[in-house]
């Protein structure tokens, strides 16, 4: 599919989706964690968290190759509230790709959630990965939500009228004495500081993101080099609500991203770099769209989308210090029933290199989140 045909499809979606689809600014399909119930003391629930996905990546150029994902991610679990501020979750996470006879991954999930007050909470064990912690896709590839294992570690979340923030550590690989591989973990911090009145139609905010990734260890027997990579994001975001119109809001954001490889032996060609991403967009009652311009200089990340890198993950010898790219994202969704969402997304990337490589991805998702009350059990 070439750019002209893609634009026709995008125009079709823009015209007709407004009749039956509902959307939000963040990715609602990558949402699974249940809201904490302060009135559920001694209650036991059975909860199902499921994502069926089809994602087709048609990538051009030397930075990434196209691929298709089709399958589901299902997590049945038991949820119990021993008190009004404490929750325990235990279940199994099943990752299934269509065409394979078995599960690609099956792993237990266990979360202890402590709600200290209406603003501050803690998760220990399996983490809340909602919308990949709202990380920019250049820092964290969105499809890792259904391709990677569940995140496990410690998470702290804070929410007030003027500040939303979370920090976490995800222990990705544990090691014992003389294991032939490195330990791997990542640390993140995401915040959105509101500068305007929360009741105003105008929203002015400062988004901030930090992601550290580390591969190393002191007790392993691996000969692989240790790696520590840091990515930072900071910027400015504006949004204006619209009343009595088919449009709900419009806005823009300007983001500055930084990259630094702090490894003793660097695996990236460039030790540090930076980028700017300017995006503008808007939402109707039924859809949202974002268009942007990316300008990167020697930028890389350890977990981000390959399309934003200055060093190709397909061929590490292929390097472009300067990257200029137009980006687009369009998402639609429909609520089928309470907790059940059906929708799709189109992502587009136009590389401003000599050949003007055009890449795009189309996705269809069904998200099912729901729980059933089982019985009351007094905690002894």
Instruction: Write a three-state SS string for 177-223.
Output: CCCCCCEEEEEEEEEEEECCCCCCCEEEEEEEEEEEEEEECCCCCCC
Return d(Cα 41, Cα 64) in angstroms, integer: 49
Q: What is the pLDDT of residues 97-154, one digit of tens each?
A: 999 988 999 999 999 999 999 999 999 999 999 999 999 999 999 999 999 999 999 9
| Res. 231: pLDDT tops 60 | yes
What is the three-class DSSP state of 9?
helix
User: Residue 177 belongs to a domain with what CATH number?
Assistant: 2.40.160
CB 354, CB 323: distance < 8 Å: no
Q: What is the pLDDT of residues 295-341, one digit of tens each?
A: 999 999 999 999 999 999 888 889 999 999 999 999 998 889 999 99
Domains in the chain: how many in total? 1
Q: What is the pLDDT of residues 271-296, one digit of tens each?
A: 999 999 999 999 987 789 999 999 99
What pLDDT does residue 11 have? Answer: 42
Return d(Cα 261, Cα 187) in angstroms, integer: 15
- For the entire predicted model, the pTM comes to 0.90
Q: Domain residues for 56?
A: 3-376
Whose structure tokens read 């119930």?
A: 37
Q: What is the pLDDT of residues 59-74, one digit of tens each?
A: 999 999 999 999 999 9
What is the three-class DSSP state of 102?
coil
């Amino acid at each position: 599919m070439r750019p002209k045909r893609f634009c026709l499809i995008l125009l079709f979606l823009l015209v007709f989706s407004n009749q039956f689809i509902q959307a939000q600014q963040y990715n609602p399909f990558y949402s699974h964690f249940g809201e904490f119930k302060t009135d559920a003391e001694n209650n036991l629930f059975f909860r199902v968290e499921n994502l069926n996905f089809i994602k087709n990546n048609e990538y051009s150029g030397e930075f990434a190759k196209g691929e298709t994902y089709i399958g589901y991610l299902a997590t049945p679990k038991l949820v119990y509230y021993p008190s009004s501020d404490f929750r325990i979750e235990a279940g199994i996470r099943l990752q299934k790709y269509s065409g394979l006879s078995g599960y690609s991954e099956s792993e237990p999930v266990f979360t202890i959630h402590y709600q200290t007050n209406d603003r501050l909470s803690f998760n220990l064990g399996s983490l809340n990965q909602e919308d990949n912690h709202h990380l920019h896709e250049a820092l964290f590839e969105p499809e890792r939500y259904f391709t990677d294992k569940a995140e496990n570690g410690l998470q702290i979340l804070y929410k007030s009228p003027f500040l939303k923030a979370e920090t976490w550590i995800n222990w990705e690989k544990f090691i014992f004495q003389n294991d032939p591989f490195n330990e791997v973990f990542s640390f993140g911090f995401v915040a959105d500081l509101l500068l305007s009145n929360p009741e105003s139609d105008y929203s002015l905010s400062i988004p901030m993101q930090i992601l550290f990734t580390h591969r190393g260890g002191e007790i392993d027997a691996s000969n692989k080099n240790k790696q520590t990579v840091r990515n930072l994001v900071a910027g400015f975001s504006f949004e204006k609500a619209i009343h009595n119109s088919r449009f709900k809001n419009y806005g823009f954001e300007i983001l500055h991203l930084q990259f630094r490889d702090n490894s003793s032996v660097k695996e990236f060609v460039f030790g540090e770099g930076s980028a700017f991403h300017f995006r503008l967009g808007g939402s109707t009652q039924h859809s949202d769209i974002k268009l942007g311009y990316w300008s990167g200089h020697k930028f890389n990340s350890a977990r981000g989308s390959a399309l934003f890198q200055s060093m190709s993950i397909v061929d590490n010898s292929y390097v472009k210090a300067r990257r200029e790219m137009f980006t687009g994202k369009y998402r639609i969704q429909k609520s089928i029933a309470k907790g059940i969402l059906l929708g799709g997304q189109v992502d587009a990337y136009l590389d401003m290199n000599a050949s003007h490589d055009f890449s795009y991805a189309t996705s269809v998702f069904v998200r099912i989140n729901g729980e059933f009350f089982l019985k009351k059990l007094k905690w002894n």
